[in-house]
Amino acid sequence: MSQESFQQQQQQLSQPSDDQRRLAQLISHLFPSNATCHSDPNNSLSLHSCSGSSNPYPYGSIQPSTNDPKNCLSCYAISSNQMIQHTLERYESETHRNIRNRIYELVRKNPKLFERRFGLTKDEERYLSHDRLEFIIQQLKPFEMEHFKTDPKRIFTVLETLSMIDFGSCGRCMIHFGLFGASILFFGTEKHQPFLQRIVKDLSRDFFGMFCMSELNHASNVQAIETRAIYDHSTKTFQIVTPSDSAVKVWSGGAALLATWAIVFAQLIVNNENKGVHTFLVPIRSEKDHSVLPGIRIRDLGSKIGLNSLDNGRVWFDHVTIPKDYLLDRFGTITDEGTYKTSIPDAGLRFLSHVSALLIGRIMTASSSILALKLALEITLKHAIHRKQFGPTLDKEVPILSYLSYQRRFYPYLAFTYVMQFAVEDLKMRYEKPSKGAENKMMHTLADCLKAKCSETAFNGCQECRKGAGAQGFLSVNRIGEMRTIADASLTYEGDNTILYQTAARNLMKRGSTIPKLKKLTNLWDLQQLQQIFEFRDATIEQAYVKKTALLAKKTNNAFEASVRTQDLALKLCNSYVENHAIKVFMKEALESLSQENKNLGQVLERLALLLVFTWIQQDGFFLQHGLISSEQYGQLDDMINSICEELTPLVPMLIKSFNFPEDIVTNVPMGPKLVEMMAYDKIYD
Ligand SMILES: Cc1cc2nc3c(=O)[nH]c(=O)nc-3n(C[C@H](O)[C@H](O)[C@H](O)COP(=O)(O)OP(=O)(O)OC[C@H]3O[C@@H](n4cnc5c(N)ncnc54)[C@H](O)[C@@H]3O)c2cc1C
């Protein structure tokens, strides 16, 4: 955008803008399907800026006609249905939609089981989340284990839907099917097929599987775990041994109360030789009377700061005997002669194969983080539309959503959910296609980075929502705390975010990117030009990281030392990569692919992307430091963000409705429009 047109736009923006005008504008747009152009110069109450009209749009197909007098975002009559169709539904088939709707329907028909309950004891909470999961799986049979390979989106659909109903049930679903069952599916062989058939069919309080990978002293560094599985050829059995208290299995979800079976990660010892980490199927409790089996000691992990519906525990194994066939032997097996045989001679690669099943969990964590942020935003922003505080006079208070500072706090998170949704859906599609070698590694890297970026931003965003809902945000019944907890735990499980970034950086540095020739940034409204500077940042940091690591390794003759002293660059590289990737996917999937008839949606989506990109530029001094943006342009960003905030405000009801959460069972909280009515009840909840 030229300096001149930007100034013109600023003049438009600085037209008389009193609170009355904002209020009238906001109210007139609460139902966006009725939105019309209110740029009537004779009516000061309905004036609003058509800042969009002076923007040069780079996307030909969605460029509004210059003859269109309604050339501004809030002039468009965009329904939430249209938005849902282009942001959510295009990624799901009729089958997946039906599964989601059938789960919602089951919840509706069984209000007693699914009503939100508070103040339960630890065990009551645990049984409740289990019973809900069991009921849904047994009633609907929404997937089979084979679907993890043939139709993983089915699994994502179930997990995502559950996550918004009861995250405890979702967590249990992830543990029993996504970790326990998927380990048998991916690491097991033909002989494990009969057991695999039980995973869905037999799920009950007496048949539940857990995943014992983390140990007290080694959780991030799984390769260094101490638990041993010692093979005895004379009996054709393994002895599972916890050699010291520091090797106790910790955090295993399901251990404290319900689990009857476990996948145990242990060092495989054959003929006194360590063959590295392998996985074993171990019975934990009797399926008949639930007693803990001989040689196993289990203790509760205690009260947590959230997610207490998951019964995480500690497990010790004192020479627990299991048959030879309980080794999940896809990557390494014991022959009839009692020797070790593997198709992957490299121990490091063999280990990586064993943790590859975690990928689905990481993708799911990225997705559930975005969902948690969406739900927190919907509840908060709906409240903010109705909540009035202060105004030009005592009797003319205005909605808190009309305050600029409020919009600046939340709209970037709103934009994040829209942009990142496309990146996560794109990742799911990559996951569906079989991939090998470098392509497969890159998918893992992308999943690591998206999981870290989404959970980190969701946690910060949910915390902002907690504050943005005022004191109401502190009530359990309003669900914002619940969403913040989901995001909080997501920072650590399925891999600590910092560790994931560092692992991803080691792969990203091998891309051998060349730094693109820098073209001058002439138009800040041009997403294509902006993407170029993100591309430049990604490649520049990669090269700096490669160079510094090599230099330090040479100087210190110590590769570990070099990797430690370049960790700052590793983290920056992953952040640059994932932001650049998300913008690229969004431009391709959300903007370019929208046809002429969807130009209104394209406009809104583009504005959301610009808001996020401006926010990211403001967060990182790199762009200024490297002259990718001039100080003059940088100085314009705040006003540009403000103008987008103003444009988006009338669309907020549509944008949050487009998240598509059913109001009766997911977002029914005593806030926003229901605040006074529901808070007047004698009891808010029972
Ligand atoms: C709610 C919940 C449920 C869980 N469920 C399960 C389960 O069912 N089964 C299971 O096996 N595990 C489970 N876990 C455990 C989880 O996988 C581990 O907590 C996770 O891998 C992190 O390990 P840690 O807690 O030992 O952290 P640590 O590895 O001790 O990390 C602590 C801090 O040190 C930092 N750090 C560590 N190493 C480095 C380094 N090299 N460079 C820079 N910084 C570093 C990390 O970033 C982190 O901030 C669960 C955890 C939670 C919170």
Question: Which tokens sit at 317?
Answer: 């194994």
> From residue 127, how far is each of 122, 123, 210 by CA, in Å?
9, 6, 15
Rounded-to-integer distance, Cα 288 and Cα 243, Å: 29
Cα angle vertex 459, ends 456, 464, to 5°?
125
Whether 306 has a binding-site annotation, put simply, is: no
Q: Is 238 in the pocket of ligand 1 (CB under 6 A)?
A: no
Residue ranges, the chain, pLDDT below 70: 1-77, 594-597, 682-686
The residue whose C-alpha atom lies closest to atom 45 belonging to ligand 1 is 499
Tell me which residue has its CA closest to atom 25 in ligand 1.
Answer: 219
Is any atom of ligand 1 closer than 6 Å to the C-beta of 175? Answer: yes
Token pair belonging to 332: 């390494």
- Catalytic residue chosen out of the listed positions 494, 579, 606, 647: 494
494 is catalytic: yes
Token representation of residue 392: 């030009």
Contacts of 539 (CB under 8 A, 6+ apart): 513, 514, 515, 516
Q: Is 390 left (phi over 0), alpha (psi -120 to 50) or beta?
A: left
**Pocket lining: 262 vs ligand 1, CB cutoff 6 Å:** no
Distance CA 211, CA 249 (A): 10
Predicted local distance difference test score (pLDDT) of residue 681? 73
Give me ligand 1 centre to Cα 310, in Å.
Answer: 17
Cβ–Cβ under 8 Å, residues 390 and 398: yes
Number of neighbours of residue 110 by Cβ within 10 angstroms: 14
> By alpha-carbon position, which residue is closest to atom 48 of ligand 1?
496
Distinct helix (H) and strand (E) counts, the chain: 25, 11
537 close to 623: Cβ distance less than 8 angstroms: yes
Q: HSE, CB side, 13 Å, CA atoms: give it for residue 121.
A: 3
CB atoms within 10 A of CB 151: 17
Residue 36: what pLDDT? 33
Does the CB atom of residue 307 touch ligand 1 within 6 A?
Answer: yes
* Ligand 1 atom with least separation from CA of 221: 29
CA angle 500, 301, 252 (to 5 degrees): 50
What pTM, to 2 d.p., does this model score?
0.91
Give, using CA atoms, the residue closest to atom 14 of ligand 1.
Answer: 251
Which pLDDT score, from 0 to 100, does residue 46 have?
23
Q: Is residue 418 a contact partner of residue 608, using CB atoms and an 8 Å limit?
A: yes
Token pair 């939430």: residue: 80
Is 489 close to ligand 1, i.e. is its CB under 6 Å away?
A: yes
| Ligand 1 contact via 492 beta carbon (within 6 Å) | yes
- Distance (angstroms) between ligand 1 centre and the Cα of 335 equals 35
> Distance from the CA of 497 to the center of ligand 1, in angstroms?
9
Which of 170, 311, 365, 493 maximizes ligand 1 atoms within 8 Å of its Cβ, making it the mutation to test the pocket? 493
Strand partners, 270: 273
Identify the bridge partners of residue 317 per DSSP, sorted by sequence position.
296
